[in-house]
């Protein structure tokens, strides 16, 4: 029986790094355990102000050193130092945007002020360069540091030098510089500038805010087979961290306020939905939050609100979103109460 991605990563961590390095102890659970889902220190999930992010696969901590957990402000006797989310996705067909879907797992640790690591085990596909940019800008925005790695030897070096602050700071500075270089070189190949990026990535940039529009529908979040929560969160963080100094309106024009209220009620215990609703400087808006949309456009979008975006539904969506985009650009369509 083939091993799962989680089991492959967890076995590799233990085999290559052992259960402790210096004064750092490894916390890791068997793949069959659900303990990852519990809040640290009982588990490997980190969060802030009651919002839990995706669970990690491993964490190195200092036993007996007190730490105030930003999730619930409780003092615990284990201080987390480095939290890792790992995946074998590069060997499992994840060549594109799917790589972003687990970005928020290690981000919880970063928001708590510690080092978050996203480890993508080398495989047949390459790491999407956008990931390096997301992690770089998150490191410049959040309390902690976010590193993307593809070699556990890098992580071993980080663990071994952690208590030497000068070496640690140099390691992090060098790594962040490398990550930014990998990101910006690819960015400059694909786009002329940030305006070109926005035009090609369904984003409208204003002086103080941005609007990112997407074809999300309510069923995306109620049908467990679609994993739309992970996709929407990945999209959100790519956009947020690429424009870290602007407020972000996340526009879902096929949905209404009633759809959002329904999901708030029925998905309140869903981690991805909670993250989407609680993320600072991000607001989900729907067709009801736009002023100036014609009745014809709204009717057309509501006709396809529950249909997969393909064939005629995709054509209708593109046609009417283009009208909304043009209206937002020329000021004929605005965000209500803004």
Print pLDDT tens along the chain (338 aa): 567 878 889 999 999 999 999 999 999 998 778 899 999 999 999 999 999 998 999 999 999 999 999 999 999 999 999 999 999 888 877 766 778 888 999 999 999 999 999 999 988 889 999 999 999 999 999 999 999 999 999 999 999 999 999 999 999 999 999 999 999 999 999 999 999 999 999 999 999 999 999 999 998 888 765 667 888 999 999 999 999 999 999 999 999 999 999 999 999 888 899 999 999 999 999 999 999 999 999 999 999 999 999 999 999 999 999 999 999 999 999 999 87
Q: Is there a single domain that holds both residue 87 and residue 162? A: yes
Q: Is there a single domain that holds both residue 181 and residue 198? A: no
Question: What pLDDT does residue 227 have?
Answer: 67
Q: Is there a single domain that holds both residue 68 and residue 92? A: yes
Tell me how many degrees the CA angle 238-269-280 measures, rounded to the nearest 5.
35
71's tokens: 């999730």
Question: What pLDDT does residue 225 have?
Answer: 59
Sort strands 24-27 and 45-48 into parallel, antiparallel or unpaired: unpaired
Sort strands 115-120 and 75-87 into parallel, antiparallel or unpaired: parallel
Residues whose CB falls within 8 Å of the CB of residue 249, separated by 6 or more in sequence, listed in order:
209, 210, 211, 212, 283, 285, 335
Q: Is there a single domain that holds both residue 23 and residue 167? A: yes
Q: Which domain holds residue 301?
A: 194-335
Q: Is there a single domain that holds both residue 246 and residue 162? A: no
CA distances to 6, 40, 92, 136, 143 from 182, rounded to whole Å, are 27, 32, 23, 11, 23
Question: What pLDDT does residue 47 have?
Answer: 96
Q: Are 254 and 216 in contact (CB under 8 A)?
A: yes
Q: Are 210 and 254 in contact (CB under 8 A)?
A: no
Where is the domain boundary, 187, 220, 250? 187
Q: Which residues pair with 25 in a beta bridge?
A: 20, 61
Rg of the chain (C-alpha set): 21
The answer, yes or no, to whether the previous bond of 2 is cis (omega within 30 of 0) is no
Domain total of the chain: 2
Question: What pLDDT does residue 315 have?
Answer: 97
Where is the domain boundary, 187, 211, 227? 187
Q: Is there a single domain that holds both residue 112 and residue 230? A: no
Where is the domain boundary, 160, 187, 214? 187
Q: Is there a single domain that holds both residue 82 and residue 24? A: yes
Total-model pTM = 0.93
Q: Is there a single domain that holds both residue 251 and residue 126? A: no
Q: Is there a single domain that holds both residue 81 and residue 119? A: yes
Question: What pLDDT does residue 184 have?
Answer: 97
């Amino acid at each position: 029986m083939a091993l799962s991605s989680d089991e492959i990563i967890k076995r590799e961590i233990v085999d290559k790094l052992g259960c402790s390095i210096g004064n750092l102890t490894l916390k890791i659970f068997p793949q069959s355990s659900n303990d990852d889902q519990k809040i640290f220190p009982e588990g490997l999930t980190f969060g802030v102000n009651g919002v839990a992010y995706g669970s990690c696969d491993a964490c190195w901590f200092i036993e007996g050193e007190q730490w105030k957990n930003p999730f619930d402000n409780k003092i615990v006797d284990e201080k987390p130092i480095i939290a890792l989310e790992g995946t074998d996705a590069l060997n499992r067909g994840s060549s594109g945007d799917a790589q972003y879907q687990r970005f928020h797992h290690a981000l919880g640790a970063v928001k708590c002020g510690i080092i978050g690591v996203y480890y993508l085990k080398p495989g047949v596909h390459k790491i999407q360069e956008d990931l390096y940019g997301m992690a770089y800008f998150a490191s410049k925005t959040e309390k902690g540091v976010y590193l993307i790695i593809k070699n556990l030897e890098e992580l071993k070096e980080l663990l071994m030098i952690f208590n030497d602050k000068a070496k640690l700071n140099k390691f992090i500075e060098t790594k962040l510089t490398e990550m930014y270089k990998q990101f910006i070189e690819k960015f400059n190949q694909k786009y002329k500038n940030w305006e070109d990026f926005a035009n090609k990535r369904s984003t409208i940039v204003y002086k103080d805010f941005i609007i990112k529009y997407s074809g999300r529908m309510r069923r995306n979040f109620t049908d467990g087979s679609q994993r739309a929560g992970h996709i929407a969160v990945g999209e959100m963080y790519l956009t947020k961290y690429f424009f870290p100094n602007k407020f972000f309106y996340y526009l879902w024009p096929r949905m209404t306020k009633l759809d959002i209220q329904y999901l708030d009620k029925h998905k309140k215990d869903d981690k991805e939905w909670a993250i989407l609703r609680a993320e600072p400087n991000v607001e989900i808006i729907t067709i009801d939050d736009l002023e100036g949309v014609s009745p014809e456009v709204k009717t057309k979008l509501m006709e396809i609100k529950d249909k997969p975006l393909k064939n005629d539904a995709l054509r209708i969506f593109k046609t009417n979103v283009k009208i909304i985009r043009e209206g937002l650009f020329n000021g004929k369509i605005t965000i209500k109460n803004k």
